[in-house]
Structure 1
């Protein structure tokens, strides 16, 4: 089959975690024998910022790190309807411009492809009017990256046509890597996130690192001056943006990492971790998490990773993990086991194909009932 993904960006992962997941899913779909193409706006926010900060070399790096993946940029005058005619499955990410979302929907009326809307953000809650203003009546279904988000669409009337489709680890890239020589204590990889986790970063990352005198590295973008000063005072080295292809090696050079979710996911959309949880566990590095509710039982808390209820407990757990390699190795092995059993991009590629098959069967049944009524 031919699958077409409308993405915010496939090439750029600058403050754009969804690119991580789509790269892995597209690669797995290709391995299963399907033809896959991504489309992204030429002036997309993530791509534009990546080029401005890192130059075009960062874009060229994508082709070397992910050979075989194709992404075509579009702008005004792009022949979307012509491209859509050749597709069997079209997936439109919720960052796509509203007018284009609706234009693709209109093309579906005359097309034979299955059309899905893909939501991987908290805007359905935090900017609810923006999502409610979208005209999705021509879409066959919605893919939501967590059950709590799926319920928002169910409440909006989508019923059996909205599906939970979690993110997962691209295990062709994210896997344990051996590292010779000394390792630093702590690595945190994540973007500043505006004001969505400012207090949590101070409580769970900055203060524990300073209290314990840890050696550590922070990677990510959009850190304001006051944040950089706080990291420096805590003894943490800030390295800026890191290409996702370089993250497994970065994990291997450190002994423990963290998950610190943004506030909207903790409060309004429980049960949805960031993709960094899947990726870290796939690399076999011990992980300690700030509080969130694993409402869907994606993992085995206490076995796959540890929860810290507050900054004091984060400090205690960090001290424990860094002091004894035995428990750290057991924790890492358990997390890796869960990823390989349930949360790889191969799993998600197969889930996507099953969803499309279900929707195709539902359309056939509807057509049969319509013909019988006539």
Structure 2
């Protein structure tokens, strides 16, 4: 099948956590014999910031970890839609694209004859409802929403007729345990400070427990304001700046535990959506302790895949437990990785996408090209 995907960026994960799942999905589709073209706008915000802070050479590094992936750039001022869309069977537009592109790709659907899906991985549907009005979904065949609560919002508002819940998942081939690494500290946290969506939570569930337990800890991420950097320094936490997403397995292997601190909008409005971070951590086989979130869709088993802490004191207690009980820590880490491999890999999500392709009316020769080639041989 000829599949065209419009991403904000395939090449950059600078403040772009979706890159993990998007890259992993493309890898899996390529492995199954599909022809893929992934387009991102020239000068996009994520890649521009990566190049500004770390240089063009660093921006090319992702190809060493993903040699099969190729980012294609288009002029966002004057896109050549004919070159991008001609011959496509399926087009998927990720939500981090301009409304103009979303609308135009929809308007051209009949001309080029493809099926068209919108992929939503953001809390905008509840936090910025007015901004959703800028999107023209009139010609879309369906939406891939990364949680059932988002799916229901689309259905209730009748934005798109067909909606499928399509959770993020781990690229388990790259994000895997590296047990031989020497430990450099107790705790590591990988995440961006962002737009003050979890400032209080980070203070309560990360900075305060680390300071009071006197743990050797390190934090990676971008968009940390001065007050955040001062808080880290006061707690004795080393700040590592931007970490390329594909290096997360190497870093997780050097620490004993990590924490998950979801952003406020997800906790408040979007039960069942953990974002990519716990998938990453569990896939890498590091022990995880999480601040509260409602696993409304039973993606994991809290208490077995990871521990949950309701407040700062509980976080301290849980961290102490796993740091001083290696058997417990290992049991949690192994169970978490097992759950990922059983239910939450990019391969699982592509299996789900193949079922969606069937519902869209594609024949099996297009859905399963490798099987067709085997029969022909």
Deviations 1:100-158 (A, max 9, x none): 11100011022221100011001111111111231101000001000111111011125
1:259 matched residue in structure 2 = 260
Scaled by the length of structure 2, the TM-score of the pair is 0.94
Q: How many pairs align? A: 362
After TM superposition, give the deviation of residue 81 of structure 1 in Å: 2.8
**How far apart are 1:88 and its partner, in Å?**
1.1
Structure 1 unaligned spans of 5+: 363-374
Q: 1:202-281 to 2 correspondence within 5 Å?
A: 202-281=203-282
Deviates more, 1:23-32 or 1:349-358: 349-358
Q: Which residue of 2 aligns with 1:136?
A: 137
Instruction: Note the alpha carbon deviations across 1:223-265, whole angstroms, 9 max, x for none.
Output: 0111111101111100000011111010000000011000001
Where do 1:24-103 residues align within 5 Å?
A: 24-75=24-75, 76-103=77-104
Aligned residues of 1:193 and 1:262 also touching (Cα < 8 A): no
Q: Is the 8 A contact 1:37 1:69 kept in 2?
A: no
CA distance in 1, matches of 2:129, 2:361: 29
Report the alpha carbon displacement of residue 192 of structure 1 after superposing the two structures with TM: 0.1
1:37 alignment partner, SS class: strand
Deviation of 1:50 after TM superposition, in Å, equals 0.6
Cα distance in 2 between the residues matched to 1:180 and 1:301: 27
Cα distance in 2, alignment partners of residues 139 and 89 from structure 1: 11
Find the residue that maps to 1:138 and give its secondary structure: coil
Q: Distance in 1 between matches of 2:160 and 2:111?
A: 24
Aligned-pair distance for 1:300?
0.6
Following TM superposition, by how much is the alpha carbon of 1:36 offset from its aligned partner in structure 2, in angstroms? 1.4
Corresponding residue for residue 360 of structure 1: 361
* CA displacement at 1:361 relative to structure 2: 6.8
Partner SS for 2:201 = helix
Corresponding position of 1:22: 22
Uncovered stretches (5+) of structure 2, i.e. residues with no partner:
364-377
1:291 deviates by 0.4
Stretches (4+) displaced over 3 A: 180-183
The 3-state SS of whatever aligns with 2:360 is helix
- Partner Cα distance (2:81, 2:354) in 1: 23
The alignment status of 1:305 with 2:306, answered yes or no, reads: yes
1:70: Cα distance to partner?
1.3
Query: Are the equivalent residues in 2 in contact too, given 1:114–1:356 (CA < 8 A)?
Result: no
Q: Please give the secondary structure, in 2, of the residue aligned with 1:287.
A: strand
Aligned to 1:283: 284
TM, length-normalised to structure 1: 0.94
Q: Secondary structure at the match of 2:93?
A: strand
- What SS is found at the alignment partner of 2:186? strand
Q: Give the deviation of 1:313 after TM superposition.
A: 0.1
Distance 1:55 1:109, change over 3 A: same
Most deviating of 114-123 and 180-189: 180-189
Q: 2:72 and 2:195 mapped to 1: Cα distance?
A: 30
Alignment correspondent of 2:114: 113
Do the aligned residues in 2 keep the contact of 1:286 with 1:332 (CA within 8 Å)? yes
SS in 1 for 2:352: helix
Q: Is the 8 A contact 2:142 2:160 kept in 1?
A: no
